[in-house]
Amino acid sequence: MNISSIIVIPHPERVAAVRARLQTLPGVEVHAVSAEGKMIATIETAGDRETIELFESINLLDGVMSASMVYHQQENDPEAPVSVEVSPPRDATALA
């Protein structure tokens, strides 16, 4: 799972519309809106590709002047199998 924090700056006359649109996007939650209209939101997705696609779509929303990612964390599923590659032991005499 990927968790990202973003700041979204909408056109001043489009603050309400941008906030409403963001709240319809799966995995997006708007946490705060400043008096100037700047928004703090989080994005939660399954993987990197989904995070990038969602972030790009937010930047392209009608009324958005800019969106900036300020934090990103990738959490691995603790139940997922872990694969470890082990190299065969090296011949110690070859190093001498």
Q: What is the pTM of this model?
A: 0.76
Query: How far is residue 14's CA from residue 79's CA, in Å, rounded to a whole number?
Result: 43
pLDDT at 86: 61
Residue 7's nearest CA partner among 72, 69, 73, 71 is 69
Asked if the model's pLDDT at residue 95 lies above 60, the reply is no
What are 6-61's pLDDT values in tens digits?
999 999 999 999 999 999 999 999 999 999 999 999 999 999 899 999 999 999 99
pLDDT at 75: 79
Q: Which domains does the chain have, with CATH numbers?
A: 2-69 (3.30.70.920)
Q: Give 81 or 53, the one with higher predicted confidence.
A: 53
Q: How does residue 82 score in pLDDT terms, banded at 50, 70 and 90?
A: low
The alpha-helical segments, DSSP class H, found in 1-96 are 15-22, 48-59, 92-95
Under a CB-based contact definition with an 8 Å cutoff, are residues 23 and 8 in contact? no
